[in-house]
Amino acid sequence: MRRALLPLISTLALVFSTTLQAQYDRFAYAITDLTKDGSSWNALRRLDLQTGAYSEVLLNGADLKTNVYDAASHKQLAQQNDARYGTLLQAPFSTGVAAAAYDRKNKRLYYTPMFIDQLRYIDLRTMKVYYVTGQAFTQFGNMQNDEAKIVTRMAITPDGTGYAITNDGNSVIRFTTGKKIKIEQMGPLVDDASNNGISIHNRCSSFGGDMVSDDRGDLYILSARNHVFKVNTQTKVATHLGSITGLSPNFTVNGAVVDGDGNLLVSSAVDGNTYFVVSPKDWSAKAYAASGGIFRSSDLANSNFLTSKSNGYTEKEIRKMIEPQDKFAKLISIYPNPATTSQITIQFNNIPPGNYMMELRDILGRSLMQRKIAVRASTESQTFDLAQNNAKGIYMVKVFDAGNSSVFSQKLVVQ
């Protein structure tokens, strides 16, 4: 059995990487000032990674006249007049933004202002701004005059979970995306024993910067002082991987995204001369060619992931990857899996008769196909044709009952 799985291990690694490469964003959202030389971090632009050209301002986050809405009710929020700060805290990017993450599935840009204890997001389809009310984001309160408590790193992992980390690494925050947003405090990061004295909590080496996720859900923090740490989101252990070489002397890493080639593009809030492209193979940097110069930027965001450096998946990981889940996990099966043709069959065994819905989703959660299924017999099978343009990769097959509750989920590998 182990010998038979070896080709599958290599294939899974290959198709997983191929799927991600095919879906790379060729752009990044950039938090900038309204002007190239400013440093208020109050404007949202979109950067074309291939041409180096910026869009016009998509959102002026300093505009107090911008209507804002409650994330849960979607009702417009009335403007509040704070006894101490007046209306200062009402503007979308008030106090500046240094942490943002792009949710490709829901077309949202999540962010938090530096001195306002609140998670917010922009619906990029409508450009409406929503505030998550009733849940403190850091629980440190507004306008905390403590550099260590500011959130400057935010990313969304492949499963749609958002993470944010304070400058000092003592507060890891996890949040869900979608209709019902839940914010959870996870506690501090822990230094790996191999860090050789370079702590994730050290102000001189490890504050600030940005972070991205890899395709397996691990986080990579690039600090403002150009050190790189890998964070396991399950254990919260931060492992120092090295420091970025080849940057200009005054460059501080403040924004980071994965580009279309699988490298990292980093921006600076201090150096206004260039961005840099960083290779994750050895953390070496080279200047990025921008067509009309660059805007200094406090943060960059897109939905690309680093490709993990694993040579393949273990047998245990493969079994776990395609293991069925949910209520009818033992009553429904998919074959062939991995699929080597354009057809798959779903077998139903002794599930309650009724109407069901099968849905095929891609790795980012987007719906690619839906089919109604009427189950009448105790044993029944249905064959479906996959679209010809379905690339090799990993997909999710879900089955919903008449009440729209998920009763079966399983990953499908298409070779």
pTM confidence score: 0.73
So what's the pLDDT on residue 322? 66
In this prediction, residue 12 has a pLDDT band, given cuts at 50, 70 and 90, of: very low
pLDDT in tens, 383-412: 888 765 456 677 888 999 988 889 888 888
Q: Which amino acid is at 375?
A: V
Residue 5: predicted pLDDT: 42
Least confident span in 294-298, 308-312, 365-369: 308-312
Percent helix, strand, coil in the chain (nearest 5)? 10, 40, 50
Q: CATH number for 25-301: choose from 3.40.50, 1.20.120, 2.120.10, 3.30.470.
A: 2.120.10
Q: Is 363 helix (H, G, I), strand (E, B) or coil?
A: coil
% the chain with pLDDT above 90: 60
Q: Of the segments 68-82, 112-126, 376-390, which one has the largest average pLDDT value?
A: 112-126
Confidence check: pLDDT of 14 > 50: no
Choosing among 3.40.640.10, 2.40.50.140, 3.40.50.1970, 2.60.40.1930, the CATH entry for 2-11+313-414 is 2.60.40.1930
Instruction: Check residues 6 and 269 and name the one with the higher pLDDT.
Output: 269
Grade residue 314 by pLDDT with cuts at 50, 70 and 90. low
Nearest to 102 by CA among 299, 361, 360, 366: 299
Out of 73-82, 256-265, 301-310, the most confident range is 256-265
pLDDT score, position 184? 97
Average pLDDT, the chain: 88
* Contact by Cβ (8 Å): 137, 117: yes
Task: Kindly state the average pLDDT of the residues 359-388.
Answer: 82
2-11+313-414 and 25-301 agree in CATH topology: no
In the chain, the percentage of residues whose pLDDT exceeds 70 is 88
Q: How far apart are the first and last CA of the chain?
A: 19
**178-202 exposure pattern, b = at least 16 Cβ within 10 A, e = fewer:** eeebebeeeebbebbeebeebbbbb
Q: pLDDT band at 309, cuts 50/70/90? A: low
Mean pLDDT for 133-152 is 94
pLDDT for 18 equals 42
Q: Is the pLDDT of residue 2 over 80?
A: no
Reduce the DSSP state of residue 398 to 3 states and report it. strand
The lowest-confidence range among 202-211, 252-261, 355-364 is 355-364
pLDDT at 311 over 50: no
The domain limits of the chain are 2-11+313-414, 25-301
Model pLDDT, residue 415: 64
Does residue 28 register a pLDDT over 50? Answer: yes
